[in-house]
Structures are given as structure tokens and as C-alpha cells.
């Protein structure tokens, strides 16, 4: 800003062009001061003016660090959940492989259950080959396994609400106006 003061310099040449400006601002609010280079330049800047500007900067920095840490923890948590689901799926897939036995206990094969319909049980062997076995040729333990088989669902649906809490069912059998 050298020589930008112009006429003021001739009026009072002993006054320095550098100095301080004091502002009285309330403690609970922050302000910004717009300063510009004057008539001969379009340069300008915003300066924070508040009694606790440095404290506010530190608070904002701390808030940003806390936000970043919370975000990082949330991402780690999401990854941990994904990993746990993947491991559960893997354990479940591995648990599907079992030894199937004939009802006379003479034949065995390692396979996983695929489906059962019309008296035929479909199994998949480890090599990927599919086999169909008449259900009556399988052991009692295999029959129990098929009967109790439940597919894996890492996100089961919530159980339905009790019917007694449904207003429609609650009012069934009650006499209403106009009923005999």
C-alpha cells in the first residue's frame, strides 16, 4: 500500500501508514472484516474479528478432528459388520457340506443339500456335480436334516406383530352399532 494514501501523506507526513484498528464486538458472536487495497486495486481479504477468534479456530479444528474420527470409526464398524457377515456366510456354506448316508449305511457321499421335491433329494458334490437320490434311500439322520433345513439369511426379517395387537382382529366378534 506504499504511496496509496496520496493526499493524506501531504497533510500529515509524520503519520505512519501502519497501525492497528480496534473493534468492540460481543463475546458470543464472530464477525468478519472486509479489507480492500483501495481505489487502485481490486485485492481484498476477509479477516475474522472476534474476541475469541483463535479459540473458535481451535474449536472448529477439534470438531473436524472429532468428526473425522467418528467417520473413521463408523467406516471401521461397517467393515467389521461386512466381514462378520462374510465369515458367517462362509461358516454356513461350510456347514452345508456333510456326509450323506444310504438307509442301509452301505453308501456315503460328501455333498450339500440343494432341494427336495417329489420324493427326490438333489445334492451338490464338492466337485460341482449334481446328484439326485430317492428320498427313501437316505438315512433317518438325513431325513431329519432335510426336515429342519433352513436357508441362511444374514438379515432376517423382523417377526410379524402379534395378531392380537391388530385393531381389525381385536374387534372381530365384538358387537358393533347396528349388529344384532
pLDDT in tens, 13-26: 565 656 666 666 66
Q: How confident is the model at residue 2 (pLDDT cuts 50, 70, 90)?
A: very low
What's 95-148's CATH class?
mainly beta
pLDDT of residue 96: 79
pLDDT of residue 129: 92
Contacts 24+ apart (CB under 8 A), 128-131: none
pLDDT of residue 91: 83
Range from 32-36, 49-53, 140-144, 148-152 that averages highest in pLDDT: 140-144
φ/ψ (deg, to 5) at 112: -120, 150
φ/ψ (deg, to 5) at 129: -70, 140
> Using H for helix, E for strand and C for coil, what is the string for 18-76?
CCCCCCCCCCCCCEEEEEECCCCCCCEEEEEECCCHHHHHHHHHHHHHHHHHHHHHHHH
CB-neighbour burial class of residue 111 (10 A; exposed 0-12, middle 13-18, buried 19+): buried
- Can you tell me the distance from the alpha carbon of 160 to that of 165, in angstroms, rounded to the nearest whole number? 11
| pLDDT above 50: residue 3 | no
Read off the pLDDT of residues 74-125 as tens digits, 9 standing for 90 and up: 999 999 999 988 888 888 777 778 899 999 999 999 999 888 889 999 999 9
pLDDT of residue 160: 59
Q: How confident is the model at residue 136 (pLDDT cuts 50, 70, 90)?
A: very high
Cβ 33 vs Cβ 47: under 8 Å: yes
| 177, three cell numbers | 352399532
Domain ranges of the chain: 1-73, 95-148
pLDDT of residue 154: 60
CA terminus-to-terminus distance, the chain: 98
Amino acid at each position: 500500500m506504499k504511496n496509496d494514501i496520496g493526499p493524506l501523506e501531504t497533510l500529515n507526513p509524520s503519520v505512519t501508514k501502519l497501525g492497528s484498528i480496534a473493534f468492540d464486538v460481543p463475546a458470543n458472536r464472530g464477525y468478519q472484516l472486509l479489507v480492500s487495497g483501495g481505489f487502485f486495486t481490486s485485492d481484498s481479504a476477509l479477516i475474522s474479528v472476534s474476541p475469541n477468534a483463535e479459540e473458535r479456530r481451535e474449536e472448529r479444528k477439534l470438531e473436524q478432528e472429532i468428526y473425522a474420527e467418528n467417520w473413521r470409526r463408523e467406516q471401521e464398524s461397517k467393515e467389521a459388520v461386512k466381514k462378520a457377515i462374510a465369515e458367517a456366510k462362509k461358516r454356513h456354506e461350510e456347514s452345508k457340506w456333510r456326509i450323506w448316508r444310504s438307509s442301509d449305511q452301505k453308501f456315503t457321499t460328501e455333498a450339500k443339500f440343494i432341494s427336495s421335491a417329489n420324493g427326490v433329494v438333489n445334492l451338490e458334490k464338492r466337485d460341482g456335480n449334481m446328484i439326485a437320490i430317492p428320498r427313501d434311500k437316505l438315512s433317518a439322520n438325513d431325513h431329519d436334516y432335510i426336515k429342519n433345513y433352513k436357508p441362511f439369511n444374514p438379515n432376517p426379517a423382523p417377526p410379524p406383530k402379534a395378531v392380537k395387537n391388530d385393531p381389525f382382529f381385536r374387534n372381530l366378534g365384538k358387537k358393533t352399532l347396528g349388529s344384532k
